[in-house]
Structure 1
Amino acid sequence: MAAGLLITDADERVLLVEPVYKAQWEIPGGCVEADESPYQAAIRECREELGLGMSPGRLLVMDWVPAREGRTEGVMVIYDGGTLDATTTERIVVPPEELKGWAWSDPPQTAQRLRPLLARRIAEALRARADGCTYYLEDGVRVT
């Protein structure tokens, strides 16, 4: 299980982080540890990856991902991380051993930087935020 945060700026650009250990970008978040809730994992990962103490908002999407070669099936959740203002954005500090950096990404940049599955999940999370709903996904495709 993994949990992430959909964080945007006033221009609706998505905050993405660039890991040192893989080619594709991600949203802030990561694996849920033993005896940790997804909500608590999102808080921890935001603190570790961005240096920000944030409380996630509502659940935007839950995505069941089928097993594939080298990976078991999983459940990924994305919480609303809100909209950061310039003052909060200036406080972002990424750990150099884990992340090369971070960037605001408009929709074309987001689609280009993310794996297709995560790009679908983020697009649905943005729709869920706009619609005031929570969506259930399977492999990044909305079921309900």
Structure 2
Amino acid sequence: MTSDHTATLPRKRMGAGVVLSDASGRVLLVEPTYKPYWEIPGGAVEADESPYAAAAREVEEELGLTLRPGRLLVTDWVPPRPDRTEGLMLLFDGGTLTPDQAGRIRLPAEELRSWAWCTEAEADDRLSGLLARRMRAAVRARAEHTTSYLENGFPTA
């Protein structure tokens, strides 16, 4: 009987999110009930779930919208901190929501207090520094039709 050596390899925490915009180019942020700063719609990738599938699932769970995310915009490796393990965070392009789609947003009250369209400056004020850097990189990658690799929210090149 052969054993799978990959079962002994290190594991990383992984998260996936979606960058959604309105026609003015503002990004959609959500306000969690359980932390002091706003978030990008998304969450943890579950066991045996692809990051892409997690992004779609999280948008449905958090916003009540069924949509198929577009291409990968950002991969961000986040180093360990005293209160959490290292992680790999991915942001996908969610495209531009129509006013009709935005009107159908329904938040889970136990998890999210509110949502808002935010300019880059408003996002910088509402997001943690790490998330603000990640969001700026994602918006830039979308505009430039590229994909960015970051470490702790900073470009490596």
TM-score between both structures, scaled by the size of structure 2: 0.90
Gaps of 5+ in 2: 1-13
Tell me the alpha carbon deviations over residues 75-134 of structure 1, each in whole angstroms, 9 at most, x when there is no partner.
000000000011111110001011001000111110000000000000000000000000
Q: Is structure 2 residue 73 aligned with structure 1 residue 60?
A: yes
Q: What is the total number of aligned residue pairs between the two structures?
A: 144
Percent identity over the alignment is 58
Which of 125, 144, 148 aligns to 1:131? It is 144
Q: Which of these two proteins has the greater Rg computed from alpha carbons? A: 2
Gaps of 5+ in 1: none
CA RMSD in angstroms comes to 0.7
Structure 1 outlier segments of 4+, above 6 Å: none
Distance in 2, matches of 1:95 and 1:76, equals 23
Report the counterpart of residue 87 of structure 1 in structure 2: 100
Report the counterpart of residue 121 of structure 2 in structure 1: 108
CA contact (8 A) 1:3 1:77 kept: yes
1:109 alignment partner, SS class: helix
Q: CA deviation at 1:143?
A: 1.8
Which residues in structure 2 correspond to 1:1-144 (within 5 Å)?
1-144=14-157
Q: CA deviation at 1:142?
A: 1.1
Distance in 2, matches of 1:125 and 1:69, equals 27
CA contact (8 A) 1:17 1:26 kept: yes
The aligned amino acid for 2:60 is R
TM-score between both structures, scaled by the size of structure 1: 0.98
Q: CA deviation at 1:70?
A: 1.2
2:137 alignment partner, SS class: helix
Distance in 1, matches of 2:156 and 2:92, equals 18
Q: CA deviation at 1:16?
A: 0.3
CA contact (8 A) 1:135 1:143 kept: no
Distance in 2, matches of 1:5 and 1:62, equals 12
Tell me the alpha carbon deviations over residues 42-86 of structure 1, each in whole angstroms, 9 at most, x when there is no partner.
011000000000100000000001111111110000000000011
